[in-house]
Structure 1
Amino acid sequence: MFVRTESFKEFIKFYPIVTGLVIIHFALWLCIDLLQFPFALQFLRDGIGNNYLVSQGEYWRLVTPIFLHAGFAHALFNSFSLVLFGPALEQMLGKSKFILMYIISGIFGNIGTYLIAPHEFYQHLGASGAVFGIFGVYLFMVLYRKSLIGPSNSQLIMTIFVLGLFMTFMRTGINVWAHLFGLIGGFAIAPAVLRNARPFSVWQNRAKHTNRNNGEVTFNPNRWNKRKFLPGKKYGKYIFWGIIIFLVALALLGNLF
């Protein structure tokens, strides 16, 4: 569920919303931080979360900070979180429900920041509220929709959830309210978006996107010859990706939300 076995081309085809969000993150970083285009710098000034300006009626600032980041590392690790934890949810919810959940969670996080942040000129940016919304949906699955998520994945989600909350309160420079309210937003909208959801399966994606000629599924008779089911090779791949997921998630939750 959280181990990516798709090729790069398959990933883009199977998960267009996650792909699009990651492209937006890096496109904005490129235009703002690296190339410093005037229009991009103006977008940063007009889009960054600012509690005082929200109070003056600039309500779009409850949305735009979701797509802005404080440098390459910030964009990189929030994008990693999307790549690791977003695809399964995008398939389970569908494109429309996934983007709706993501945006609503991010808005919840920004509203919480506006209501409870320590001072009226507090500024913030980043996708962490929306990312915590993804964890909020998974948390709802673990508690109330166990048929949608297996025991091992449930344990992984709960571990990341506990680590995320711990690091949220222990480290400085983190928008605590965006994390907490983003999580609440994802959890609150979960019953609606999970209606009629089915468990994740990469084979559903491959079946859905299989090339068809005259209504018939094409079949490559040599496909099975390309994969040798060697136990060491098979388990080595999963161990490798498991380590990568753990290290990236730990770095993400501990430092760069």
Structure 2
Amino acid sequence: MTALRQSGAAVVSTFLADAVPQPSPLALELSGISLSFGGSRILSGVQLAVAHGERRVILGPNGAGKTTLFNVVCGDYSPNAGSIRYFWRDITHLKQHMRARAGIARTYQSSLLFDGLTVLDNIFLAIRGVKGNRLSLLRPRASDLDLARAREIADRVRIRHKLNTDVRDLSHGQRRQLELGMALAAGPKLLMLDEPAAGLSPGDRPELLCTLHELPRTLTLVIVEHDMDVALPIADIVTVMKDGAVVIERTPDKVEHDSAVQAIYLGEAA
């Protein structure tokens, strides 16, 4: 069993070494991604190329296939056809936990917090979970360093003033900020955000947008979004999907006034 663990660790270490970004690589490249469930085509030949450090928003109406594509990248689903490359390495068949260890982190539309614990506890546990070493819990110095890092993350996502607050007492906007912080605890190279503004009031959105704008460009963001008012201020490039396929890929200023995009959204409203 020990030999198997060592062998597995060697495979992951080799993958991690190969996944270190080269000069100006593509952080994420999807080629011909297709997926069907029960005879229904959900994704159809999706092509996507995201540069290292880019802020890419995947936009589209409900049912466009955005979240399904997101889940394919994160390893929840395996595509029926096509390939996924992460910093030039093929991860199409890599297991979900190995993608996470390689530097792909995510958030979800629905809240996944440890209710009954404080903000600090939640971020601390996220940091410890990334390390995955139970023995490290017995090392006081390591715990001190992780607590300091948890406080730094709380600063970054603008909830330092809530460190000792039970997460059940947070506003919805503060919970979303905390979820972002817990994803950052993994120290990812690629951060996948699934509708981070879902359920936020207009008053909470500026705080989230400011937090996202302040993230370093060493981190690549891929953001699934439904609301153009949230998507466009964040994006370098916007990919618009409809019926499981990419229909338009433009800069935010061009997408906003694109007649085809307007038709997609007006069609949804109708």
Q: Is TM > 0.5 for Structure 1 vs Structure 2?
A: no
Tell me which interval the TM-score lies in, with the shorter structure as reference length: under 0.3
The structure with the largest strand share of the pair is: 2
The structure with the largest helix share of the pair is: 1
The two structures have a TM-score, normalised by structure 2, of 0.24
The two structures have a TM-score, normalised by structure 1, of 0.25
